[in-house]
Amino acid sequence: MPETPAAPSRLNKRMAELGLCSRREADDWIAQGWVKVNGQVAEMGVKVTPADRIEVDKKAQTQQQQQVTILLHKPMGYVSGQAEDGHEPAVVLINPRTHWREDPSRNRFSPPQLRGLAPAGRLDIDSVGLLVFTQDGRVARQLIGEDSNIEKEYLVRVSYGPVAQNSQAAFPREELAKLRHGLSLDGQPLKPARVEWQNPEQLRFVLTEGKKRQIRRMCELVGLKVVGLKRIRVGNVVLGNLPVGQWRYLGAHERF
């Protein structure tokens, strides 16, 4: 039987699927006249199939290369996104004074880098560690897109019931197995996670999803109380020696 031809989709969606840019970026480029389909300047809202040839002007690529991705070591007391309940958003920490002196990147800070800079993922107000901000829609899609399966690694200090020390010895093994797979949140089963003891008071979690307060809620379901939570890795990018409250640029050769 002959293959059924693919149904047409909107140009911005197709460009995002091809990894060229985010949908919003695609709309900007189309509006600027920087996108051609089969040699013709594309109109907003046009539909395409995989057989159509999409070309992007070099001006769009130049603009994209100037976009930055920033890694912040978020302290406690800041929210990841919009200001809420009197708490400041973590983006206020991104300024020339808090730029890590040992940043190997050659990038220099300039105010336009804050334009459209958004968190790619969340980190609770009472959690610390690696928080990624980006202007690049491709990075955002990779980290928080619907089909993202990027690993995030956390060190989680816990207590179990009245046991303040050596929670590991008191915590049942079958409950640890539940943390790895078998729990549900908001009526949906969670994806499998890697969870293991790092030391008698601390667990290491590796997740590929990021529901709101996920680790804290997972721990509550098995009787553990989270005392401290720190994200140390997103994909292949680690927090490393970046000091609390300081930031650096994602390096040219770093990939999540």
- Catalytic residue status for 186: no
At 187, list the tokens.
């009526």
CA distance 213 to 41: 45
Structure tokens given for 123? 């980190």
CA distance linking residue 159 with residue 157, whole number of Å: 7
Specify whether the CB–CB gap between 246 and 171 falls below 8 A.
no
Catalytic residue from among 85, 103, 124, 136: 124
How many C-beta neighbours within 10 Å does residue 158 have?
A: 23
CA torsion angle for 32, 33, 35, 41 (degrees, to 10)? 160
Active site residues: 124
